[in-house]
Amino acid sequence: MATQVPGDDILLEVKGLKKHFPITGGLMRRVIGQVKAVDGINFYIKKGETLGLVGESGCGKSTTGRTVLRLYDPTAGEIMFNDPNLGKVDLAKVDSATLKKIRPNMQIIFQDPFSSLNPRMTVRNIIGEPLMIQNTLSGQALTDRVAELLDEVGIRPENMTRYPHAFSGGQRQRLGIARALALNPKLIICDEPVSALDVSIQAQVLNLLEDLQKKYDLTYLFIAHDLSVVEHIADRVSVMYVGYMVEMAATDKLYYTPKHPYTEALLASIPKPDPRNRNRPLKLPGDVPSPANPPSGCYFHPRCRYAEDICKTERPPLRDIGGEHWVACHFAEKLQLQGVTKLGEMPLVSLPTRQPPASAPIAPATAAE
């Protein structure tokens, strides 16, 4: 069941990762249960690629991102990171001194640009903080590096002395990106980087992330719940459901030939921006089960329209059904599932052309009436 893909081009390989949070209760705050936020997932990211991680809220995608960075300590499992200096390291086991040496190579961009920047620190200190902690730069050299980073994300370096409140949501997200870039990382975990932004700003930030990836040969773990955004940016996509990975494949394969019924339902639910193509979504009955009390067997079986008896008792492992298409479903080969339909016909209207002011029929007099 392990996702064994040998080779040096794997930057991060996660095997059997588990993160359980205890539920305490009663007089003595005894542990009375476990929230199995992440419950044995396997995946890998190759150098220079973007792996999209999608799923509904509460499925454990953010916990996965944070556990990979050791912001949470994993309950079990291996996190093999291919560090450029230290070689392959299991992040789940390293001591804190080694971890500090590895940290510059993996960074995170948070979802909410309003709560992830300290309001009492200037932009210079926010972006320079990783450099100070790692003792790489100080004084004028630090200021210069911050200026360079700001320039990189499209914010004027003069703004370095200002505080986060002076910036709009999109600009704050750029500051978050600059901070993540400060130490020249190899891997950046993007935890819903655009979901708090407006549509017009979202496109700017997505383009910026793509440009930076090309320029610095970055590897992204891109966590998002917006499937259209992930389709746009990711090379491969993995789908999570209640702490378990149900499917992982190249973006096109996953979107056009999904092999897991949950992926099918998820894709069918995307509201398509085309009024001539109104979809009646596949009814996915019920709600996402609680990770504290998941169903037996395959976690998706109570909502799955293809479920059979075996699904109630046996949890299917994540297995490769060919061509790096990993699925956790007993019937992956048998089911004929529907992917997204191409929305190619809808024209993208181009902008109207500029009219020279001389021939423009708007004289100031007519509009001022």
Q: How far is the CB of 163 from other proteins (least distance, A)?
A: 15
Torsion, Cα 20 22 23 28, to 10 degrees, reads 170
Give the ranges where 164-260 is alpha helix by DSSP (H).
169-181, 199-216, 227-233, 251-256
Q: How far is the CB of 200 from other proteins (least distance, A)?
A: 4
Close Cβ partners of 47 (under 8 Å, ≥ 6 residues apart):
9, 10, 11, 82, 186, 217, 219
Cβ proximity to other proteins, 144 vs 287, nearer residue: 287
**Can you tell me the distance from the alpha carbon of 92 to that of 72, in angstroms, rounded to the nearest whole number?**
10
Of 341, 323, 321, 342, give the one whose Cα is nearest residue 332: 321
Cβ proximity to other proteins, 97 vs 362, nearer residue: 362
Q: How far is the CB of 138 from other proteins (least distance, A)?
A: 33
Q: How far is the CB of 103 from other proteins (least distance, A)?
A: 31
**Can you tell me the distance from the alpha carbon of 75 to that of 291, in angstroms, rounded to the nearest whole number?**
15
Q: How far is the CB of 355 from other proteins (least distance, A)?
A: 6
Distances (CA, A) of 239 to 118, 133, 135, 243, 328: 32, 35, 38, 10, 10
Cβ proximity to other proteins, 85 vs 350, nearer residue: 350
Cβ proximity to other proteins, 137 vs 206, nearer residue: 206
Residues that bind other proteins (CB under 8 A): 56-57, 168, 170-171, 198-204, 206-207, 210, 225, 227-229, 231-233, 251-252, 255-256, 265-266, 268-281, 283-284, 287-288, 340-344, 346-357, 360-362, 364, 367-369
Cβ proximity to other proteins, 118 vs 256, nearer residue: 256
